[in-house]
Homo-oligomer: A and B are copies of this chain.
Amino acid sequence: MRIGILGTGNVGQALASAWARAGHDVVVGSRRPDDPERLTELKELITSGLRVEGCAAAAAHAEVLVNATPGTASVELLRTIGAPALAGKIVLDVGVGFLEDGSLSHPDVSLGEEIQRAFPETRVVKTLCTIDRKVMVAPESLEGPATVFLSGEDAEAKTVVRGLVTDLGWADDALLDLGGIGTARGQEHFALLFMGIATATGTYEFGIRVVLPDTAGTGSQGLPHGQGAP
**What is the interface of chain A, defined by CB distance below 8 A to chain B?**
103, 107-108, 130, 140-147, 149, 151, 176-179, 183, 185-187, 189-190, 192-197, 199-203, 205-216, 219-223, 226-227, 230
Contacts and interface: CB of A to CB of B under 8 A. Distances in A.
Nearest to A222: B222
Contacts of A145: 211, 221
Contact of A212 (B142, B147, B227): B142
A149 B149 CA distance: 21
Given A176-B200, A197-B210, A205-B213, A143 B192 contact: no
Contact of A213 (B142, B219, B220, B223): B142
In the A-B complex, the 7 residue pairs with the closest CB atoms: A186-B193, A186-B192, A178-B196, A189-B189, A186-B196, A183-B196, A144-B221
Nearest to A107: B107
A102 to B, nearest CB: 9
Contacts of A203: 212-213, 230
A200 to B, nearest CB: 5
B141 A214 contact: yes
Contacts of A221: 143-145, 222
Given A144-B211, A203-B213, 5 more contacts: A143-B215, A143-B221, A201-B230, A206-B211, A208-B209
